[in-house]
A = this chain, B = another copy of it.
Amino acid sequence: MSDFKNLGTQELKETKSQLLERYRNFQSRKITLDMTRGKPCPAQLDLAMGMLDGTDGIQYLAQDGTDCRNYGGLDGIPEAKALFADYMGVDVDEVIIGASSSLNMMHDTFMRAMVKGVTEKTTPWMKQSNIKFLCPSPGYDRHFFICEYLGIEMIKVDVRDDGPDMDHIEDLVAKDEGIKGIWCVPKYSNPTGIVYSDEVVDRLANMQVKAPDFRIFWDNAYAVHYLEDAPAELKNILSACKQAGNADRVLMWGSTSKISHAGSGIAMMAGSKANMDHAKKQMAFQTIGPDKLNQLRHVKFFKTMAGIEDHMQKHAAILKPKFDAVQTALENELAGKNIAEWSQPRGGYFVSLNTMEGCAGSVVDLAAGAGVKLTPAGSTFPYKKDPLDRNIRIAPSFPPLEDIHQAMELVGICIQMVSIEKLLSS
């Protein structure tokens, strides 16, 4: 295919008219496809049905004799703590098992920081002024929504192939006491799919930080969510922070929402013992404890970290063809045309696509006009504003394979149409 930027006006117009015909053909088929959210598909959810059946589903006694049907267990039953400490790469006293949502645990950590402060010795964020957060972008929209909701100023930081722009970050945090933290999705990042390099992890752990109550919000949502045979390596940031003498700098989260059942999984928080003790002390005012029956179900079903990894191979077998279909469709439509670039993720739930500047919003609108719903342009940036209007997040996990073929072909058509429009008008 030829580079669109080398085509003359006439060629562009002809190509556009061919594309318009294909687009109208799509419209006439009256399809309705939703590619907006990183939801598991039913076949993935079926994989964990064994968790609910008669064998594991009616178990209620934990190893230590705890009746999981009764009150108690603020930070989890011992076998769940053991399994998910392993999952998070921390010691058992460095993990808290929560309810089903890690987002909920992150939100609540913000709320406690706002009202009570990050430690007993620091001032509540509500009593400080000009609170800010670093937001590597494109990133996870719900992270940014929490900051916006709480009136925390978001500072955009670029994302590179090996993680966020560390030069920029080091410069900012060293001098601004108002910067209280950074959002990180370190592995198969949402939406870029990148994995933080060892160097980035080390620099985050070691950097000079002005605010005494600065925290890295480390949302390791896709720790074992690989599309290949083996997971990418991610350096353990808690170990790195300890080594740097900054053990309390990082708070980590994970969940089984995309391992067992979304919304009915197990969420967990991890960090230094001091951080976990502080969180537990505060959580004791909030709850007597989360659903322990669900914890037990998870442990009975997965048993070990190896059990989780085996299970994730089954997820990968379902997801890999869907991610491949996205790549194939984008290659077919866009290769060599110099109007878009996109990620080839080795894990996670998204493909991140960049159009020419100023085109993403129009592409999303155009696709919607033919029945394919994409995540609104801008969603992956603070305040829902992509300054270059070029990033589109594609979520191929939920729709059936055939739908993805169709949807991505249409997306390819729309990108070409909008790009030609832009080239013609410039």
Contacts and interface: CB of A to CB of B under 8 A. Distances in A.
What is the total number of copies of this protein in its complex?
2
Contact of A263 (B49, B116, B262, B290): B290
Nearest to A98: B99
B57 A287 contact: no
Interface residues on A, range: 35 or more
A71 interface: yes
A111 B107 CA distance: 11
B293 A52 contact: yes
A264 interface: yes
A90 interface: no
Contacts of A58: 49, 52-53, 57
A262 B70 contact: yes
A207 to B, nearest CB: 29
Q: Which of A42, A67, A70 has the most CB of B within 10 A?
A: A70
A264 B288 contact: no
Contacts of A288: 101, 103, 142, 262-263
Interface string A53-68: 1100110100000011
A73 B263 CA distance: 9
B107 A287 contact: yes
A145 interface: yes
A345 interface: no
A386 to B, nearest CB: 21
A37 interface: yes
Interface of A: 37, 39-40, 42, 45, 48-49, 52-54, 57-58, 60, 67-73, 99-101, 103-104, 107-108, 111-112, 114-116, 124, 126-127, 142, 145-146, 149-150, 257, 261-264, 282, 285-294
13 contacts: A39-B71, A54-B54, A69-B261, A69-B262, A69-B264, A71-B263, A99-B100, A104-B286, A114-B114, A115-B115, A262-B288, A263-B289, A264-B292
Given A99-B290, A108-B286, 17 more contacts: A42-B70, A45-B60, A45-B67, A54-B54, A57-B58, A69-B262, A69-B264, A71-B257, A100-B291, A101-B286, A101-B287, A111-B111, A114-B126, A115-B115, A263-B288, A264-B293, A294-B294
